[in-house]
Structure 1
Amino acid sequence: MEQKLQGRKLMTECNKCGTGIEPGESYEFQGKLLCEDCYMDVMNPPKTCDPWAVHLAKSSIIQDGFQLTALQEEILSLLKEHGPMQMEEITAKLEINEAEFRNAFATLRHMELARGFKKGDNVYYTLFSQE
């Protein structure tokens, strides 16, 4: 556990992302000190198969004209261009980590724009309308 002195307060670093954490603002998980964002990621990972989230996402598209993030657009463009891909290929091409991909993809799945499927022991990601 690394600590830094900032001003007069002793700050701790998140063991996952390295962000400085104010005293009393850290969370412990499996022996590691985490910032709030990293703690939320490990305690509540995005779920791609969630019927209620699908309903809400589709409703927000119709009612609010929901816009995709730049990363979500890039994932869709990559899948349109290359067809089904594994996560490792997508994260390497977009230079993102697995958590960033999973968060962006969960929304795409809820909006029924992209989906995952198994082929043998491998998981592939593709556009919702493609085989």
Structure 2
Amino acid sequence: MKHMIHALAGTIAMILIFTFWTSTVISELVMDRNSVALVKQYLIYGLLILVPCLAIAGGSGVALSKPGAKGLVTKKKKRMAFTAINGVLIMLPSAFLLNYKAGRGELDIIFYIVQVAELCGGIVQFILLGLNFKDGMRMRRARLIRG
């Protein structure tokens, strides 16, 4: 059951990050300022799902790992630590600032600098979670082979 919870939480987190990223890019490229502000507002609401999913994925990953585990487990733990730091220091503050500025109609140079940082941080999050997903599948295959 822990494996299923871990996989589900990680998968939902990846889908949300991809959705946030593509929604942002599409709103910036083809929508008006009001739509950009609306997307930023909905992303804040989406964090109410994303943050717990990331916490559940990380916590269940730690619970699933054996003491002294090495190899793929160590790689996954290092990636999750970086994902957490990136989330707390870049992604969350960016999301709140962008929501605030968009809500006030302040789509200025600061908005777009932070927007670029958030988009870059989002790509990093997605790649790291994707690598963890891939390694998780490798670990699952190895577990199934061992029986």
TM-score in same-fold range (> 0.5): no
Higher helix share: 2
Higher strand share: 1
Scaled by the length of structure 2, the TM-score of the pair is: 0.24
Determine which structure has greater relative contact order: mean sequence separation of CA pairs < 8 Å that are 6+ residues apart, divided by chain length.
2
Scaled by the length of structure 1, the TM-score of the pair is: 0.26
